[in-house]
Amino acid sequence: MIELYNISKSFGKQEVLNRVNAKFHQGKVNFVMGRSGSGKSVMTKCTVGLLEPDSGHVLFDGRNFTAMSLNERTQIRKEIGMLFQGSALFDSMTVAENVMFPLKMFSQMSEADMLERVKYCLRRVELEESDNKLPSELSGGMQKRVGIARAISMNPKYLFCDEPNSGLDPQTAIVIDNLIVDITKEYNMTTVVISHDMNSVIEASDTIHFLHQGQVAWAGDNNEMMSASSDTLNDFVYASKLMQKMRS
Amino acid sequence: MRAIFHIGRYTKFLRSVLRRPDKWSMFRKLLVQEMSIIGIDSIGIVVLLASFMGAVMCLQTAHQVGGWIPVYTIGFTVRQTTILEFSPTLIPIILAGKVGSNIASQLGTMRVTEQIDALEIMGVNSAGHLVLPKIIAGFICIPILVIISMFLGIAAGALIAFLTGVSSMTDYQYGVQVDFKTYDVIYALIKTSVFALIMTSVSSYHGYYTEGGALDVARSSTKAVVYSAVIIMISNLVLTQILL
């Protein structure tokens, strides 16, 4: 489980997060949703230590990540997999080299075992045939799948996905959603997905945190969301005509 | 205030860079790659520049020589200028344009496409992983390139002196050898090593801390070249005062 307590973060005079509290459960797909600029990405970056929160702390299974030294944090980070919005694949490496990179850096595996693991991860995301391609030769959806393969190569306990469906067509988006759900259940990971895509939220979420103006304005699950009385949440959820039709 | 901020952040950056590599085998692989980019890929421009500069210096000196100034001064001046100033200073400045902008744009692109964040999330010391091989490669390759340029500059001067007839080979050779001090070469190599460190680290610093998008990558690349050149010039003055 990942717990956030009173996380605040400002950039200059602009307050982006204001005493955010959240709990992300193990074995579940925990969504964080909100409008652009609501602080979702900043919250994720504060959680994984890419940004230092001004106050508050983050616990990974009870371990206070915020208070840790750089070396201690490095150990936790080896338990984290992350899928970035733009996939963040290393463009000078092939697909297989991208997936193998964390193994080469941190595992004591033999070359043969690493290759086997890479094959398994790529098979898991149905990209076994693309192992020798460069990221620039892949479509957006394929790049996301390689990103997932790389994220799970070290058997992470925690998986973060920042806007996994941005820029993807609805069918590919569903493939990515299903993959995230399946992998979460299979590895019993604590998965945190940042998204403002309502289709994904409905398809894949177990728990939902709705961020508004730097605060968690609402938290609950999928069913509760559809019948919530929060105006700010409803304005967001039912912004599209499709969702309005669903409601009526 | 801004300058103090950059000096502080640059110092902190260098502390991260100069940490023990996470994995030596990976470091060696990256070092070889960087040596190829910084060293091998720069040989062409160094050969071209050194040859033409040596030739031009020879002709310009020959233009001044006459009357009571002996002809062997041509070889002497080409040697002194090449070893003391042209090769150790001008070559790193030219390389700051070629290699420095390459380093800054590579790291800048990695930053804006979140590849550096991806390394950090994996628990990799991104600054050390990406920048240390560049600095070491610069430290090894740039002095070698400078030595090559010294030989080529002097040789090109000899060739042009012979072809145009401004000096006999014997006079030129005598000029190159007369009053030669080994310390001049040592001084040049000390300067070059410092400039290599400045060029690679300053360019890396600007690339590593790029924020924004494509335009900001271009801006970082420009800053990397300009700041590297300015700092090299200032250091040149300071080092010359200290070492000579």
Give the pLDDT confidence of A79-88 residue by residue, as tens digits: 999 999 888 9
Q: Confirm whether B55 is domain-assigned.
A: yes
Q: Confirm whether B46 is domain-assigned.
A: yes
Task: Answer for the pair A194, A161: CB distance below 8 angstroms, yes or no.
Answer: yes
CA atoms within 13 A on the CB side of B144: 13
Task: Answer for the pair B49, B94: CB distance below 8 angstroms, yes or no.
Answer: yes
**CATH 3.40.50.300 location in chain A:** 2-79+156-247
Identify residue B21 by its one-letter amino acid code.
Answer: P
- B201 burial via Cβ count (<10 Å: 0-12, 13-18, 19+): buried
Nearest to B122 among A77, A89, A91 (CB): A77
Rounded Cα gap, residues B114 and B111, in angstroms: 5
Distances (CA, A) of B124 to A43, B127, B214: 21, 9, 25
Closest to B156 measured CA to CA, from B241, B46, B244, B233 = B46
Domain that holds residue B192: 28-243
Position A164 confidence tier, pLDDT thresholds 50, 70, 90? confident
- A106 close to B (CB below 8 A): yes
Q: Confirm whether B3 is domain-assigned.
A: no
Residue with tokens 């952040």: B9
Q: Using the predicted structure, report yes or no on whether residue B81 has a pLDDT greater than 90.
A: yes
The pLDDT value given to residue B156: 97
- Rounded to the nearest angstrom, the minimum Cα separation between A214 and chain B is 22
- Residues of chain B with pLDDT > 90: what percent? 93
Could you tell me the maximum CA-CA distance found in chain A, to the nearest angstrom? 58
Contact B123 A91 (CB under 8 A): no
Rounded Cα gap, residues B75 and B167, in angstroms: 9
DSSP-based three-state secondary structure for A167: coil
The pLDDT value given to residue A74: 86
Rounded Cα gap, residues B117 and A36, in angstroms: 20
Contact B121 A74 (CB under 8 A): no
Task: Answer for the pair B128, B21: CB distance below 8 angstroms, yes or no.
Answer: yes
Beta carbons within 10 angstroms of residue A248's beta carbon = 6
- B124 close to A (CB below 8 A): yes
The pLDDT value given to residue B168: 93
- Rounded to the nearest angstrom, the minimum Cα separation between B26 and chain A is 7
Best probe of the B interface among A65, A84, A150, by most B CBs < 10 A, is A84
Nearest to A105 among B117, B120, B122 (CB): B122
Beta carbons within 10 angstroms of residue B186's beta carbon = 11
Give mean pLDDT, residues B208-223: 94
Q: Confirm whether B6 is domain-assigned.
A: no
Residues within 8 A of B (CB atoms), A 116-155 only: 154
Residue with tokens 């070629």: B98
The pLDDT value given to residue A193: 94
Q: Is the pTM of this model over 0.90?
A: no
Q: Confirm whether B5 is domain-assigned.
A: no
Of A24-33, A109-118, A205-214, B64-73, the poorest mean pLDDT is in B64-73
B135-183 pLDDT per residue, tens: 999 999 999 999 999 999 999 999 999 999 999 999 999 999 999 999 9
DSSP state, A129?
G
Contact B121 A86 (CB under 8 A): no
Position A175 confidence tier, pLDDT thresholds 50, 70, 90? confident
Q: How many domains does chain B have?
A: 1
Token pair listed for B142: 């740039």
Q: What average pLDDT does the structure give for chain A? A: 89
DSSP-based three-state secondary structure for A15: strand
The nearest alpha carbon in chain B to A79 belongs to B122
DSSP state, A194?
E
Q: Using the predicted structure, report yes or no on whether residue A67 has a pLDDT greater than 80.
A: yes
Beta carbons within 10 angstroms of residue B49's beta carbon = 19
Position B104 confidence tier, pLDDT thresholds 50, 70, 90? very high
Distances (CA, A) of B70 to B60, B166, B188: 15, 12, 26
Give mean pLDDT, residues B97-123: 94
- Rounded to the nearest angstrom, the minimum Cα separation between B97 and chain A is 22
Position A246 confidence tier, pLDDT thresholds 50, 70, 90? confident
Q: What angle do CA A4, A5, A6 make, to 5 degrees?
A: 125
- Rounded to the nearest angstrom, the minimum Cα separation between A220 and chain B is 28
Best probe of the B interface among A42, A60, A72, A82, by most B CBs < 10 A, is A82
CA atoms within 13 A on the CB side of B95: 36
DSSP characters over B141-210? HHHHHHHHHHHHHHHHHHHHHHHHTSS-HHHHHHHHHTT--HHHHHHHHHHHHHHHHHHHHHHHHHHHT-
Q: Confirm whether B32 is domain-assigned.
A: yes
Contact A84 B114 (CB under 8 A): yes
Beta carbons within 10 angstroms of residue A185's beta carbon = 14
Token pair listed for A16: 């982006």
DSSP state, A240?
S
- Rounded to the nearest angstrom, the minimum Cα separation between B113 and chain A is 6
- B22 close to A (CB below 8 A): yes
Rg value, chain A, Cα: 18
Contact A50 B120 (CB under 8 A): yes
Best probe of the A interface among B106, B113, B129, by most A CBs < 10 A, is B113
Rounded Cα gap, residues A25 and B1, in angstroms: 45
- Chain B residues within 8 A of A102 when measuring between CB atoms: 122
Give mean pLDDT, residues A1-11: 93
Q: What average pLDDT does the structure give for chain B? A: 94
Beta carbons within 10 angstroms of residue B1's beta carbon = 5
The pLDDT value given to residue B19: 92
- B48 close to A (CB below 8 A): no
Rounded Cα gap, residues A4 and A8, in angstroms: 10
Nearest to B121 among A75, A77, A105 (CB): A77
Contact B121 A85 (CB under 8 A): no
The pLDDT value given to residue A138: 93
DSSP state, A168?
-
Q: Confirm whether B22 is domain-assigned.
A: no
Residues A98-102: contacts with CB within 8 Å, 24+ apart? A98/A135, A98/A146, A98/A150, A99/A146, A99/A149, A99/A150, A99/A153, A100/A153, A101/A150, A101/B122, A102/A150, A102/A153, A102/A154, A102/B122
Q: Confirm whether B189 is domain-assigned.
A: yes
The pLDDT value given to residue A225: 83
Rounded Cα gap, residues A121 and A114, in angstroms: 10
Task: Answer for the pair B78, B157: CB distance below 8 angstroms, yes or no.
Answer: yes
Residue with tokens 């504060």: A46
Rounded Cα gap, residues A161 and A190, in angstroms: 11
- A74 close to B (CB below 8 A): yes
Pairing of strands A158-162, A190-195: parallel
What pairs with residue A212 in β-bridges? Answer: A215
Topology (CATH level 3) of domain A2-79+156-247: Rossmann fold (3.40.50)
The pLDDT value given to residue A36: 85
B42-58 pLDDT per residue, tens: 999 999 999 999 999 99
